[in-house]
Structure formats: structure tokens, C-alpha cells
């Protein structure tokens, strides 16, 4: 008989224990030999903000002895279900979330970081949730015991902690679909996160949303996964969305259940250090460094968005095209949550050597309103490239 412990029952357990008592699942041990995909338990490669490489270390779990599938201490890969770090990771910097400073963090297998205690609850809820300060790139029921599943890795730098869930499967021990994602927390001084930001969610390929014990079937349905930040006071939170179906459908932090494919290859970087409830819109879809190098004759077709992380808000974006030639460019700009833009630009030979700055200013309708500005720099080059000779032996030059 399956016995599930509700989230709020786990809150009661949290008050009595130094770590969260594990919810119970119908569990049959995975009677397979431990399989290491490679010598350092990495599946990879990953296309993330900070790529997974030899500088990362496997996260050592073992904090949730009562979980349905705690990590085997002898397993170098630390494959598990619902486990978390037995000892918090000490940070060489101060991470501040909604005005509260933290100098250590727990890494939880179920797609989140927590503060003060480990966290094994496998069925997510929408935010806010009282009692659990959490940074959740994708809170869902991860299970790395499948033979084709990867595991969780981390790297600690002077100004940031990077944690990667590398091609990890879902409960119970399913590895037919795998999620790859990354969370970065910092003190606001790291250039990868962006100076002034202190959290980044970075996604590679996201293939599932829900484990079997959360009402899912084949990785979807049931209780959707949650993406966001939860202060833990039951009031303040930051939510990107709740994902429970395949496909690219997305309508903001609330509303209908979102499609997990919307997250593929996306990055969300933002600042949750302050105590204010209304967070500014979060940009996504912009190129690295907000810079585009474009060759004459090539076309830029850039789809961007700004998401307001509070429920029920609408974001309006004003786009200043600057000196971008109107005969060679176009813009589709729609308010909403998210507010979306499609910028198209095909430079001519007359644009070679020019640099254009397009300014996006997104403002929500919170109280008081909050704004985000992105300056997109477009640099046009001639890019003369020899391609082939014609039938007369003359060199043809293509502008690319």
C-alpha cells in the first residue's frame, strides 16, 4: 500500500528534526549493479552557462537515511532518490535571499537548493511555501538510480556555487527521459551570473516533469514541477512557472500548466537579494553578453521575452531601435506575462563596420512598478570569405 506524506506533514517533521523526514513511496529496490557511465560519473556534454567538466565534483548525498532510495556510501556516483547532502556546503561568499544572508547551502537531489536543512519532499507545490527557504531551478521527483541516468555535480568558486543535474531521470528509477539543468548562486559579483545578479537558472534539454509518486505517468501529468525562489515566510517568492506537460506552451508564472520544452536552452538570471516583494521582469532569449556579431547578408531573427515572477502581473516592453535602418529591420512586440519580442534585421553592405544598440525596457504593473533594461549591441562586419572559384578560375567572394 502506497503511503504519501503531504508537504505540510513534512513541515511538522521539519520542526522536530534537524533534517526533513522523508516522504514514503512504493519502493522496490533497484537490483542492478552500480553502473558508472564514465570514470567521473559524467554523461554530458552540457550546453549550460558553466559547462560540466573536470573541475566539478560529484555531490555527496547521505543526509536522508529514511528516504526511499538514499545514496549508497560506496557508490562514487551517489545515485539516489530523494537524498540530499548530509553536511551543508560552506560558501566562501555570502548569498543573500530576500534580505537574509546565508553562508552554507544544502544540495537536494529533487532539483533545488535549501538553507538551514536538507529537503527531500518530492511532490512540488506552487510558491509561496512557509518554512522552506529554497532556490529551485526545477523542483520535481528526480531519481538517478536508472542505469542511463546521470547524477548531480557541483563546483565552488570565489563568488559562485554552480550545481548541475546532468541528464537525470525521474521516479521510479526511470531513465527513458532525462533532464539537464544548472543553478548558480552568487554574491552578485560574478561575471557569469552578471554583476548585480545573484541567481541563474540555465537549461540544456528538459524531457520530463513528474515522477510516478506525484501522479505522473511516463514523466508527465500529475503535480507539475515548480521553478522559482521561495523565501520561506509564506509571503515572498519568485516564480518562473509550473511545468507538467511536454511542448513549448508557456503563459507565465501562474495560469495553465506549462510545457517543459519551453525551458530548453533558456537562461534566467536575476537578483533576489533585496527584501522587496515585487521583483523586476526577468529577461530571457538574449545572446551571451547581450552582443550579436552579424555579417553582411546574414539575418538576425531574435525572439526574446520578459517574465514577471509574480502572479497576475502584466509586463509591457518598450524597444528603442536606435539607428537600426528601418528598411532592413522589423519588430513585433507584445505585452503580457511574458512580454515577447521578435526582432529581425538583415544588414546590407552599407552597414558594414557599424555598431547598433537596441534598448529594451520592460516594466511590470506591480505596486510599485519594477523595470528591467537590456542594451543589445549588434555589430555588423563585412565578413569577406573566399568560397569557390567559378568556371573561369576567378575567385568568388561571398558576404556571410
Any alpha helices (H) in the chain, and if so which ranges? 7-16
Q: Which residues of the chain have pLDDT under 50?
A: 1-22, 27-39, 386-400
pLDDT at 385: 57
Looking at the domain 283-384, which fold is it?
Immunoglobulin-like (2.60.40)
pLDDT at 40: 58
Q: Could you give the CA distance from residue 328 to residue 17 in angstroms, rounded to a whole number?
A: 64
Give the DSSP letter string of 66-77. Answer: TSSBPPPTT-TT
pLDDT at 169: 98
Q: What tens digit of pLDDT does each residue of 336-369 get?
A: 999 999 999 999 999 999 999 999 999 999 999 9
Nearest CA-CA partner of 105 in 92, 120, 119, 90: 90
pLDDT at 396: 39
pLDDT at 277: 74
Q: Could you give the CA distance from residue 370 to residue 335 in angstroms, rounded to a whole number?
A: 15
For 300, the 3-state DSSP assignment is strand
pLDDT at 2: 28
Q: Where are the domains of the chain?
A: 7-277, 283-384
Q: Which residue has the cell 523526514?
A: 21
**Cβ-count burial 67-82 (b if 16+ within 10 Å, e if not):** bbbbbeeebebbbbbb
pTM: 0.86
Amino acid at each position: 500500500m502506497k503511503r504519501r506524506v503531504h508537504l505540510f506533514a513534512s513541515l511538522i517533521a521539519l520542526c522536530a528534526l534537524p533534517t526533513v523526514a522523508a516522504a514514503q513511496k512504493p519502493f522496490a529496490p533497484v537490483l542492478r549493479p552500480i553502473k558508472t557511465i564514465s570514470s567521473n560519473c559524467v554523461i554530458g556534454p552540457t550546453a549550460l552557462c558553466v559547462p560540466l567538466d573536470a573541475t566539478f565534483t560529484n555531490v555527496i548525498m547521505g543526509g536522508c537515511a529514511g528516504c526511499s532510495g538514499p545514496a549508497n556510501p560506496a557508490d562514487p556516483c551517489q545515485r539516489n532518490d530523494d537524498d540530499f547532502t548530509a553536511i551543508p556546503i560552506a560558501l566562501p561568499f555570502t548569498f543573500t535571499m530576500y534580505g537574509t544572508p546565508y553562508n552554507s547551502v544544502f544540495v537536494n537531489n529533487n532539483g533545488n537548493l535549501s538553507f538551514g536543512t536538507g529537503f527531500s519532499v518530492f511532490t512540488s507545490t506552487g510558491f509561496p511555501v512557509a518554512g522552506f527557504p529554497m532556490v529551485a531551478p526545477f523542483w520535481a521527483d528526480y531519481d538517478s538510480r536508472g542505469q542511463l541516468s546521470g547524477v548531480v555535480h557541483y563546483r565552488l568558486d570565489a563568488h559562485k556555487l554552480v550545481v548541475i543535474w546532468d541528464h537525470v531521470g525521474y521516479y521510479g528509477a526511470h531513465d527513458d527521459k532525462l533532464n539537464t539543468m544548472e543553478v548558480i548562486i552568487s554574491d552578485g559579483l560574478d561575471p557569469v551570473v552578471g554583476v548585480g545578479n545573484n541567481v541563474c537558472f540555465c537549461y540544456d534539454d528538459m524531457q520530463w516533469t513528474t515522477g510516478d509518486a506525484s501522479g505522473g505517468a511516463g514523466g508527465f501529468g500529475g503535480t507539475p514541477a515548480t521553478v522559482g525562489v521561495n523565501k520561506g515566510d509564506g509571503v515572498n517568492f519568485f516564480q518562473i512557472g509550473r511545468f507538467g506537460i511536454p511542448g513549448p506552451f508557456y503563459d507565465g508564472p501562474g495560469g495553465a500548466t506549462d510545457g517543459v520544452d519551453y525551458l530548453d536552452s533558456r537562461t534566467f538570471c536575476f537578483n533576489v537579494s533585496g527584501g522587496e516583494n515585487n521583483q523586476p521582469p526577468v529577461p530571457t532569449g538574449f545572446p551571451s553578453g547581450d552582443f550579436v556579431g552579424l555579417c553582411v547578408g546574414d539575418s538576425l531573427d531574435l525572439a526574446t521575452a520578459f517574465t514577471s515572477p509574480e502572479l497576475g502581473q502584466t509586463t509591457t516592453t518598450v524597444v528603442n531601435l536606435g539607428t537600426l535602418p528601418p528598411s532592413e529591420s522589423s519588430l513585433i512586440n507584445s505585452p503580457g506575462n511574458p512580454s515577447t519580442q521578435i526582432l529581425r534585421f538583415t544588414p546590407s553592405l552599407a552597414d558594414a563596420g557599424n555598431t547598433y544598440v537596441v534598448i529594451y525596457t520592460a516594466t511590470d504593473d506591480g505596486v510599485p512598478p519594477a523595470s528591467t533594461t537590456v542594451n543589445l549591441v549588434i555589430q555588423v562586419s563585412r565578413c569577406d570569405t573566399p568560397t569557390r572559384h567559378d568556371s573561369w578560375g576567378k575567385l568568388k567572394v561571398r558576404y556571410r
